[in-house]
Amino acid sequence: MAGLQGKRILLGVTGSISAYKAAEWTRALVKEEALVQVILTEAAERFVPALTFAALSGTSVHRDMFADNPEALMAHINLSREADALVIAPASAQTIARLAAGMADNLLSTVVLAARIPVLVCPAMNAAMYHHPATQKNIRRLRQFGYRVLQPGSGELACGEVGDGRLPEWDDAREALLSIFAPSDLRGLKVLVTAGPTREAIDPVRYLSNRSSGKMGFALARTAMRRGASVTLVAGPVSLPDPPGMEVIRVQSAREMAECVFARAEQSRVIVKAAAVADFMVDAPAEHKVKKSDDGLQLDLVKNIDILAELGSRKKARQILVGFAAESRDHQQEGMRKLQEKNLDLIVVNDILGSQSGFDVDTNQVTLIDRNGSHEVPLMSKEDTADQIWDAVRAMLAAGDGSPFS
């Protein structure tokens, strides 16, 4: 499962104005059905009361290492033993310095010192404090300990200054958490993914395109990165934000996508072409806006380059090429035909007529087809579908590019 459902997250909140955002993170974790326990430092409680986190997490908040109740006995040991990951957000300069020195003078620092689970540190402070040599030295020290330290966001800070020091966005922290829990079975693999539609100009205002949202391609890129791959994402015009931690190249037309893909294909071990490239382009786009006319509009269309077929003809030994086919009927036959004609190793066929699969929805139901067989993937989220596709690719890699379905 691609999400955080059932994961036990220990959230340490320290003294920063960004502590209020930790409350939002708590809500986001609970919404994903993660089990959240919160540790508040004394300074953090000056910004956000414990009752807020208790209400959002549905559990009591841990504050005092010497609390006078049986549940608090050995809390610094038990809390980390009962969690899957420890997130410190916001991590103030003081807390980072304390952890780098190996101090254990409050509940949070003691829990971190006793932890045998992954630790994710999310700094938040004034830009000058963040860039101070002492803070940078402390961050390097934490990374040497094996902790994962996120880069803070950049922009206007609470003090009115502009620079690095904002608490990282929740989406970035979520990706880091998901990477912690994901298998590392694609580590070191260079992966190229395409996503979204293309736009073929009619005039400076109008264009030909399709309904692709890019969600499937972006899910493939994100899940590959979580599993350790080095990912390049070539995306057509979509409204999705760039996934963190990878090279993202934005294009408009099929020709632009082809240029970017062909320039990077030779260095890629796995290529997944999930983009819905326009089959046709206007032969001669107008330089100026075409005016309305009672006579209608006639367009002369010519075929676009078939990027997937060209990749198949150029495919190197041991390179894996995965294609997509959006079909409304004869799924198996069309999928097998395209697999063979375009020299693919795997094709993903989805039914575009399904109300919960295909374009601009968050779920998908696909059939994976290779030269020796097929596998029906039931309806699930696009991120879970992406993991199923990567499982099939990983099986091919392990079998020397053989079939996972034979």
- Give the model confidence (pLDDT) of 52-105 as tens digits: 999 999 999 998 876 656 555 566 688 888 999 999 999 999 999 999 999 999
pLDDT above 70 (res 35): yes
What pLDDT band is residue 155 in, cutting at 50, 70 and 90? confident
- The pLDDT score that the predictor gives to residue 297 is 83
- The pLDDT score that the predictor gives to residue 3 is 83
Per the model's pLDDT, the better-predicted residue between 86 and 298 turns out to be 86
| Percent of the chain predicted with pLDDT > 70 | 95
- The pLDDT score that the predictor gives to residue 352 is 80
- Cβ proximity of 80 and 104 under 8 Å: no
Rounded Cα gap, residues 380 and 122, in angstroms: 31
| Alpha carbon of residue 27 to chain centroid | 20
pLDDT above 90 (res 24): yes
- The pLDDT score that the predictor gives to residue 376 is 92
Q: Judging by beta carbons within 10 Å of its beta carbon (0-12, 13-18, 19+), is residue 299 exposed, middle or buried?
A: middle
DSSP helix, strand, coil percent of the chain (3-state; round to 5): 35, 25, 40
Q: Which CATH superfamily is domain 8-181 in?
A: Flavin prenyltransferase-like (3.40.50.1950)
User: What is the CB neighbour count within 10 angstroms for residue 387?
Assistant: 23
Q: What is the CA radius of gyration of the chain?
A: 25
**What type of residue sits at position 16?**
S
- Cβ proximity of 286 and 200 under 8 Å: no
For 298, the 3-state DSSP assignment is coil
The residues, any chain, with a CB within 8 Å of residue 286's CB and separated by 6 or more, are 202, 203, 204
- Cβ proximity of 396 and 272 under 8 Å: no
Tally of CA atoms within 13 A in the half-sphere of 114 that contains its CB:
18
Element (DSSP H or E) covering residue 11: strand 8-13
pLDDT above 70 (res 353): yes
What is the rounded average pLDDT of the residues 370-385?
92
| Alpha carbon of residue 286 to chain centroid | 39
What pLDDT band is residue 405 in, cutting at 50, 70 and 90? low
What pLDDT band is residue 252 in, cutting at 50, 70 and 90? very high
Give the sign of the dihedral formed by CA 91, CA 169, CA 120, CA 100: negative
- The pLDDT score that the predictor gives to residue 1 is 47
- Cβ proximity of 172 and 321 under 8 Å: no
What is the rounded average pLDDT of the residues 157-185?
91
What is the rounded average pLDDT of the residues 215-225?
97
- Cβ proximity of 201 and 282 under 8 Å: yes
Give the domain ranges of the chain.
8-181, 190-398
What is the rounded average pLDDT of the residues 215-228?
96
Which DSSP symbol is given to 64? -
**Between the CA of residue 323 and those of 147, 347, 394, what are the distances in Å?**
37, 5, 16
Q: Provide the CATH topology of domain 190-398.
A: Rossmann fold (3.40.50)
| Percent of the chain predicted with pLDDT > 90 | 80
Q: Judging by beta carbons within 10 Å of its beta carbon (0-12, 13-18, 19+), is residue 159 exposed, middle or buried?
A: middle
Q: Which of 159, 202, 286, 299 is catalytic?
A: 159
- The pLDDT score that the predictor gives to residue 325 is 92
- Cβ proximity of 203 and 290 under 8 Å: yes
- The pLDDT score that the predictor gives to residue 73 is 52
What the block records as the tokens of 52 is: 């807020």
What pLDDT band is residue 161 in, cutting at 50, 70 and 90? confident
- Give the model confidence (pLDDT) of 261-277 as tens digits: 999 999 999 999 999 99
Query: Quick check: do 8-181 and 190-398 share a fold?
Result: yes
pLDDT above 80 (res 2): no
**Catalytic site includes residue 159:** yes
- Give the model confidence (pLDDT) of 316-347 as tens digits: 999 999 999 988 888 888 899 999 999 999 99
